[in-house]
Structure 1
Amino acid sequence: LRAWWVVTFPGLAILITVLALNLMGDGLRDVLDPKLKRL
C-alpha cells in the first residue's frame, strides 16, 4: 500500500472530530440536566 496517508489522515481527522463531539455532548448533557446523576 503506497498511499497509506490518503486514508490515515482523513481517518484520524474523523476519529478526533467524533470523539470531540461525543465529549461535548456529554458535557452539555451534564450541564443542562442536573437531575441526572451518574453512579
Structure 2
Amino acid sequence: MIKSDYDYSNLVEIAYLDGSDYEDLLLNNETAKGIILEKEF
C-alpha cells in the first residue's frame, strides 16, 4: 500500500456523521483513498 501524509481519520468521521453504516464506511473510505492517491501521483 502506498503511504501518504494525508490524514484519513477525518474521512471516517465524515462518514459517521453522514449516517453511513460500517460497510459503507469502509467502501467510501477506500474509494476516497483511491481518488486521493490518483491525484497525488
Deviation at 1:20, TM superposition (A): 0.2
Higher relative contact order (CA 8 A, sep 6+): 2
Larger radius of gyration: 1
- Unaligned runs of at least 5 residues, structure 2: 1-19
Identity %: 9
User: Deviating runs (4+, > 6 A) in structure 1?
Assistant: none
- Unaligned runs of at least 5 residues, structure 1: 1-7, 30-39
| TM-score normalised by structure 2 residue count | 0.50
